[in-house]
Structure formats: structure tokens, C-alpha cells
Amino acid sequence: MNIKVVRGNPTPEELAAALAVVRARAVAAAEPPSGAEGPRDAWSDPARIATRRLPLPGPVAWSRTYWPG
């Protein structure tokens, strides 16, 4: 990564502070958000209640494929 000062004449301390902010923002952007959805609990997994295969087509098959939720 190259950074070029276009205007002004920053001191080494000012340049170091600016680079620290840029690096901190780059690291924060690379990390997943803290509110990201983690692994789901087993009780809320729909596969838990689907212990059998899907029902065969028929006149009442639609009522057996309903997922409450």
C-alpha cells in the first residue's frame, strides 16, 4: 500500500497518526461485525423436526410440508 501526501507538509508524528487510523480502519473492515449471526441453537434448526423424507405428492401433501416458524 502506497500513501502519497498531496498537500501540506506533515510532521512525522502527524503522518504516523494518520497511518495508524488508516490501518485501524482496514483491520476493522476485515473483521466480521460483532452482531453477526453465530451458529444456531439445535432446538431452532428446522432439520430437527424433519426426521422423515418429504411426503409423496397427494391431495393433503401441502399440509404436511408446512414449517411453523
**What is the pLDDT, as a whole number, of residue 2?**
76
pLDDT in tens, 10-69: 999 999 999 999 999 988 888 766 655 666 677 777 777 666 666 677 777 766 666 564
- Among 65, 45, 67, 44, residue whose Cα is nearest residue 54: 65
pLDDT at 5: 86
Q: Nearest Cα to 10, choosing from 29, 38, 21, 30?
A: 21
Q: Looking at residue 44, what is its pLDDT?
A: 74
Domain boundaries, the chain: 12-64
